[in-house]
Amino acid sequence: MNKISTFSYKGKDIDMLYDKGNLAYTFEHEGKQYGYKVEVPSKSVLDIASTSFLLFINVVETLEALKFTPNENI
């Protein structure tokens, strides 16, 4: 996948990626890579914007889930 953008959210650098009809994001948290990929239904501006918004919501939910994940070493 090709990186098309990077933005910061709550101290994390989030990379936005694109490849053959798919949009995705990836970021690193405590040495592990996290991310998600979604297919863009068409090349319309509405579909691209909706898919980007869906990915942003997923970033927020993933970061919140990681924040409340119990420590496995306890």
Tens of pLDDT along the chain (74 residues) come to: 999 999 998 888 999 999 999 999 999 999 999 999 999 999 999 999 999 999 999 999 999 998 866 555 54
Edge-to-edge strand ranges of the sheet holding 12-19: 2-9, 12-19, 22-29, 32-39
Which among 54, 51, 24, 32 is positioned nearest to 40, based on CA atoms? Answer: 51
Q: What's the DSSP call for residue 35?
A: E
By the 8 A CB rule, do 51 and 43 touch?
no
* pTM (2 d.p.): 0.79
Q: Which helix (H) or strand (E) holds 24?
A: strand 22-29
